[in-house]
Structure 1
Amino acid sequence: MPRPVTRLAATALALCLPFAATAQDFSEEEIKQLALQAILENPQIVMEAVAILQSREEEEAAAAARSSLTEGRDLLERDPNAPVLGNPDGDVTVVEFFDYNCPYCRRAGEQVSDLLARDDNVRVVYREWPILGDGSVFAARAALASRAQGKYGAFHEALMGARGRVDERIVLQIAASVGLDLDQLQTDMDAPEVQAHIDTTFELARSLGFSGTPSFVVGEQLAPGLVDADQLLAMVETVREGG
């Protein structure tokens, strides 16, 4: 694969060549020399070349995400190792990638709750994606372990409602407040399915091009960042309209 400097030089050169030559007609050193000369004579082409390369890279990333979305649809929406809230038989699935220490995720949680209150035919798949430190990892593992006691929903909502950062002490306090057996919880945190969920989430996020939380998938729509309930409803309706 061409190095970034060579790609930039080749793009800059292509903007200036008045004839049908391509980068393949020159050696790498010739490209650099010709591009340098072109840049000195036409400084504005640097920004034009950068814009072209950025556009190409964004298109390539979008294409890769669409391919990953198609190939990973079943894992995204029907992974038996992922928590599901809302209507488990709903006709549209919303997938959320989140971290308990992400303030935007806490706001997103309110929007998801609003969505479920307004549309009782939506199922939400939660992907625990602890990217903000050890406290986030502990919280994610504890939340996933709480499934063994049938309290994921209550524990998830309580963790989302926490003030400030959550760490091991805060997580265990919240776990006790929703009636979880702490000894069992900490044992279940080491279950292989807990780590498997987190590993799968990281791989899915990478393949979809997500770089932060929260991030959503609704049908063919990727939504990195915070979205409100109205936007989520519109995305859900887009899926329904598309059959």
Structure 2
Amino acid sequence: MKMLMLILMMVISPAVLAMTPEETLFNNPATPHFGAKNPRLTIVSFTDYNCPYCKQFDPLLERVVKENPDVSVVIKLLPFRGASSIIAGRAAMTVWEQHPEKFQAVHQRLMSKKGPHDEASAVEAVKSVGLAPITVTPASYLELKTNVEIAEVLGIQGTPATIIGDQLVAGAISWDDLNKLVKEQLAKVKHDKA
């Protein structure tokens, strides 16, 4: 993981250059997150609202947080599946920017839709949580662009891709494999701090 952090220094986005690599991945306030406020383990999920495997895997991350109160998840939206992924991602990022308390509900709504998104489904997801229609912000695009740059530096070539402790997991994995990996990484963190 330390090597990955060093590589992240090469990312050229001005927003990212203002932060340390660790902040860029784990503590960027412009990036949606949920779970523990002071986590022992932070999971970073690179995901796309149009990816069917992401839609299957995302509920497992929510379950990890529910069963492990010392874990948090950072969501790096990665619009790999074209313009409609950008539309859905920008809508979600704008909600995070303007109404962070509503993000998780919008995120779940976007993840639960069968098939690809379009502008109407992104608007409907926002509306479904009681928000007025939003105008996507320039910052929402910059954050998606930054996520793409980070993914390129890390060699991520698809979604979902998940950083769990010092492991980068490509693709969706089963609940048993995810839970085992989280437990191993939590034990490693506890051991490293001892």
Shorter-normalised TM range: 0.7 to 0.9
Counterpart selection for 1:202 from 124, 129, 148: 148
The answer as to whether partners of 1:114 and 1:229 remain within 8 angstroms in 2 is no
Partners of 1:138 and 1:116 in 2: how far apart? Answer: 27
Shift of 1:236: 2.2
Q: Which amino acid aligns with 1:128?
A: L
Counterpart selection for 2:56 from 107, 110, 113: 107
Match of 1:163 in 2: 114
Q: Which amino acid aligns with 1:102?
A: C
Partners of 1:177 and 1:118 in 2: how far apart? Answer: 27
Number of matched pairs: 174
Match of 2:126 in 1: 175
> What stretches of structure 1 of length at least 5 have no aligned partner?
1-64
Q: What is the RMSD computed on CA atoms of the aligned residues?
A: 1.7
Distance 1:163 1:153, change over 3 A: same
Match of 1:191 in 2: 138
Partners of 1:228 and 1:236 in 2: how far apart? Answer: 12
Shift of 1:66: 6.2
The answer as to whether partners of 1:100 and 1:159 remain within 8 angstroms in 2 is yes
Q: Which amino acid aligns with 1:175?
A: V
Partners of 1:230 and 1:88 in 2: how far apart? Answer: 25
1:228 aligns with 2:177: no
Q: Which amino acid aligns with 2:67?
A: R
The answer as to whether partners of 1:96 and 1:217 remain within 8 angstroms in 2 is yes
Using CA pairs below 8 Å that are at least 6 residues apart, which structure has the higher relative contact order? Answer: 2
Match of 1:152 in 2: 103
Shift of 1:175: 1.4
Q: 1:83-123 deviations in whole A, cap 9, x for unaligned?
A: 11122222100000000000000001121122122212110
From the CA coordinates, give the structure whose radius of gyration is larger.
Answer: 1
Q: 1:23-51 deviations in whole A, cap 9, x for unaligned?
A: xxxxxxxxxxxxxxxxxxxxxxxxxxxxx
Match of 1:118 in 2: 67
